[in-house]
Amino acid sequence: MITNTEIENRGNQYPNHITDFKQEKDKLFFTTQNGVVLQITILRNSTIRFRYATEYAFEPDFSYAISENVSLGYDKLSVEEEVSKYIVSTTKVKIHIDKSNLNVRILDVEDVVLSEDELGFHWEENYDYGGNIVKMSKVCHTGESYYGMGDKASHTNLKGKRVNNWVTDSYAYGKDQEPLYKAIPFYVGLKENQAYGIFFDNSFSTYFDFANEKRNVTSFWADGGEMNYYFFYGPKMGKVVEAYTDLTGVPELPPLWALGFHQSKWSYYPEKKVKDIASGFRKRKIPCDAIYLDIDYMEGFRCFTWDKQHFPDPKKMIDELEEDGFKTITMIDPGIKIDRDYWVYQEAMENGYFCRRADGPHFKGKVWPGDCKFPDFTDPKVRAWWGDLYKEMIADLGVHGVWNDMNEPAIMEVPTKTANLDVRHDYDGHPCSHRKAHNVYGMQMVRATYNGVKKFMFPKRPFVLTRAAYSGTQRYCATWTGDNVATWEHLWIANVQMQRMCMSGYSFVGSDIGGFAEQPNGELFARWIQLAIFHPFCRVHSSGDHGDQEPWSFGDEITDIFRKFVELRYQLLPYLYTMFYKYIKEGLPMLQSLVFYDQDDTQTHFRTDEFLFGEQILVCPVQEPNAQGRRMYFPKGKWYNYWTEEVVEGGKEKWVSAEIHLIPMFIKAGAIIPKYPVQQYVGEKELTELQLDVYYTEGIENSIVYEDQQDGYDYKKGRYSLRKFRLRGKENELIIQQFKDGNFITPYDKFKLTFHGLPFTIGTVEVDNEKVNLKDIKLNGNNSIEVGKDFTELHIVGK
């Protein structure tokens, strides 16, 4: 007889020898004598899924992470059987499956090992909860590096680290603290300059050890569920991240105003305070597109209500703010106050929408309103109901966007900071406990919010923001990195978190500028905005406990610096919007770590500070006080100093001056950077021209500019403008070709081209093979000309 103690102490179990193989189209099944089944699915030539079952049986195949629009299809699939192994081949990879123990080795077509099992799949029976703790260990090769994993507050290269994915309200977290607000179990491995990726799609608490416990082993495991992971082969990191992003999805284009500057605080109230903040921006000519209302706009912190003392006429206030160019964003949390007279609570009770404990009672937790109950957002009926709750807020009052906070879910006054593990969830018809649903709870809340806001914002685009996230949440909303701190260390953390999130498929991301907790000094605040204008989501947010954090809170010098950089953000909006277009079309991260930009240069493998904003702007923030500049590394190519136009040759480290009013910022030689005029808010000015900053290079460089109506969905019907520029520079001439696509007619008729680094004096200019009078194109010195926007070829020749 097997006693309970024997089960508890059984320890790790392993597959033994393969006894059966069968193939069903793109799925291959390898079964061992002791009941382990390995299912290999070929999604694409270089995207392979590995799924393991014990006791001969798989769980239902369901995931919240996978996009409905994932690309499928491959060119070749063959299986060969040898004495000791099976060999599965596509046009990109070979997979060896060891017959004796089910271990897997993945190689490229040149037989170079990309990834190989160490112990491989093994499991341990979970005596406390049932099911298995599922484990995978792989060989860590010499020189191998690891990147990605979402919002980890650690060095971009995770070699030597151990991390945990269990979304957690981590107020004032520190460097290397685990876990944080996101659970994105995806990493990119780089071995001998060949990149691959692994996505462990398991929503239980997961753990990754990147050669921390054993220097030659990388492992990952979960507290329950299946060993279910996807393997992506590059060999370039870009291909890996694109494939993962295709699998888990991308958002729709946001309205352009969502890429402007936003101001927030816990909390702006009453109405007069909100209007004072708005007028403060306009009076000081600091651009701003959105103002946020934190929980104090509500009546007793009840979601979907308004405190009529502080906000007697919210619609009138929202309309007046909009007249002045401000969008209004409101916070909604998941906790619903237990109050029999509160209509949201009544509806949820009547329809059975709240989460229950294992034996039937409702789950209760304390949050801002006091004792609350929590909707089960993993139930489709609950999501539909929740989305419809936004009707009054969006359709009737005119709120422009919604911010979901505390959705880990965060619970106060309990050591776990979250719901009890025995809480039950529908999980879209796959009932489970909170152990499995915890990491996706916030994701499903914001999914419901997104669907509701989208319905009631139509025909305009929705804007939604979340704190908690699992892989795939990027399909629904922007995110930020939670309750950070006003310290120089957190400025460093913000930089690495943005790079890491972008490499993890989630580009619409930002930090609380200046820090949420504690109070920055003016220098730190200035250095933070200098970095944050290069983050896709750009918002100041702070705790009211620690003083004011508006741009004018630190004296005139800092206010002027803040204004200068926010104005630069608004000038670069067409460049940023084009970055977003490439992100959703190609899966290209909006920010690129240096290793992503040039993985062949080993100098980039451990750099944390420098990054690419898009593909043509190199940025390196100053991250310590009293600095007059810093050393930074320049990747391959030639780079123009944005402020001085000095040209730096890549492949080396160099000192760059950057006093308090500057950030090291460089433009790739050959780039054509589009700019709008400075506006106080998106749409303030009619665009009469598009400025193109042209950075000369000898050779060829391609640039693109994407534009549309900046809101609405006509772009999906072809009403967009996509301009592709090819610059070809020679010793005494410059040729710019333009290729146009799309049916959108831009409001401007001309380009103003400003030249940087021309090695010759302009002598003649031809537009579409016709010589033009230099006065007609307003040649200004040797620096700029104006030409019609529809040219096909611009040919500039020196004297």
DSSP per position, 680-701: SSTTSS---EEEEEEE--SEEE
- Mode of pairing for the β-strands spanning 18-24 and 27-32: antiparallel
pLDDT per position as a tens digit, 52-93 = 999 999 999 999 999 999 999 999 999 999 999 999 999 999
Q: What is the mean pLDDT of residues 651-670?
A: 98
Which of 799, 795, 730 lies closest to 767 in space, CA to CA? 795
Please tell me the distance from the alpha carbon of residue 519 to that of residue 531, in angstroms, as a whole number.
18
Please tell me the distance from the alpha carbon of residue 334 to that of residue 355, in angstroms, as a whole number.
11
Q: Label residue 50 by pLDDT band (50, 70, 90).
A: very high
CA 438 to chain CA mean position, Å: 20
Question: Would you state the pLDDT for residue 1?
Answer: 35
Q: What angle do CA 548, 552, 555 make, to 5 degrees?
A: 100
Confirm if 751 and 738 have CB atoms less than 8 A apart.
no
Segments of 264-373 assigned E as strands: 290-293, 327-332, 336-337, 364-367, 370-373
Tokens linked to 36: 């382990």
Q: What is the mean pLDDT of residues 405-409?
A: 98
Length of the chain: 799
Q: Enumerate residues 6+ apart whose C-beta is below 8 A from 150.
A: 165, 180, 182, 183, 184, 186, 469, 500, 501, 504, 506
Sheet holding 370-373, edge to edge: 336-337, 370-373, 364-367
Confirm if 491 and 527 have CB atoms less than 8 A apart.
yes
The SS3 assignment for 579 reads: helix
CA 347 to chain CA mean position, Å: 35
pLDDT per position as a tens digit, 299-337 = 999 999 999 999 999 999 999 999 999 999 999 999 999
Q: Label residue 544 by pLDDT band (50, 70, 90).
A: confident
- Mode of pairing for the β-strands spanning 401-404 and 327-332: parallel
Verdict on whether the full-model pTM lies above 0.95: yes
- Within 16-80, residue ranges assigned H as helices are none
Tokens linked to 700: 């060829």
- Residue linked to tokens 């329950």: 224
pLDDT per position as a tens digit, 372-392 = 999 999 999 999 999 999 999
Strand partners, 182: 469
Question: Would you state the pLDDT for residue 732?
Answer: 96
Which of 671, 626, 676 lies closest to 647 in space, CA to CA? 671
Confirm if 218 and 146 have CB atoms less than 8 A apart.
yes
> What percent of the chain shows pLDDT beyond 70?
99
As a three-state string, the secondary structure of 281-301 is HHHHCCCCCEEEECHHHCECC
Tokens linked to 677: 């005029």
Please report, in angstroms and rounded to a whole number, the separation of the first and last CA atoms in the chain: 97
Q: Which helix (H) or strand (E) holds 230?
A: strand 227-233
Please tell me the distance from the alpha carbon of residue 482 to that of residue 170, in angstroms, as a whole number.
8
Residue 179: pLDDT over 50:
yes
Question: Would you state the pLDDT for residue 2?
Answer: 39
pLDDT per position as a tens digit, 149-176 = 999 999 999 999 999 999 999 999 999 9
Question: Would you state the pLDDT for residue 9?
Answer: 61
Residue 359 burial (CB count, 10 A) = 7
Question: Would you state the pLDDT for residue 346?
Answer: 98
Question: What does the mean pLDDT of the chain come to?
Answer: 97
Residue 127 burial (CB count, 10 A) = 12
Please tell me the distance from the alpha carbon of residue 671 to that of residue 167, in angstroms, as a whole number.
40
- Within 339-404, residue ranges assigned H as helices are 343-351, 380-388
Residue 8: pLDDT over 60:
no
Please tell me the distance from the alpha carbon of residue 121 to that of residue 754, in angstroms, as a whole number.
59
Please tell me the distance from the alpha carbon of residue 379 to that of residue 160, in angstroms, as a whole number.
39
Question: Would you state the pLDDT for residue 195?
Answer: 98
Amino acid (one-letter) located at 716: K
Residue 596: pLDDT over 80:
yes
Q: Label residue 547 by pLDDT band (50, 70, 90).
A: confident
For residues 360, 366, 371, 372, the Cα torsion angle rounded to the nearest 10 degrees is -60
Catalytic residues: 405, 408, 483
pLDDT per position as a tens digit, 432-458 = 999 999 999 999 999 999 999 999 999
Tokens linked to 275: 């209007």
Sheet holding 638-641, edge to edge: 591-593, 611-613, 617-619, 665-668, 638-641, 647-649
pLDDT per position as a tens digit, 10-33 = 799 999 999 999 999 999 999 999
* Long-range contacts of the stretch 18-21 (C-beta < 8 A, 24+): 18/86, 18/97, 18/99, 18/100, 18/102, 21/79, 21/81, 21/86
Which of 677, 697, 550, 703 lies closest to 637 in space, CA to CA? 697
* Angle subtended by helix axes 314-323 and 271-284, to nearest 10: 0
pLDDT per position as a tens digit, 33-47 = 999 999 999 999 999
Q: Which helix (H) or strand (E) holds 98?
A: strand 93-98
Please tell me the distance from the alpha carbon of residue 389 to that of residue 396, in angstroms, as a whole number.
12
Question: Would you state the pLDDT for residue 782?
Answer: 82
How many angstroms separate the Cα of 568 from the Cα of each of 562, 564, 626, 663?
A: 10, 6, 23, 12
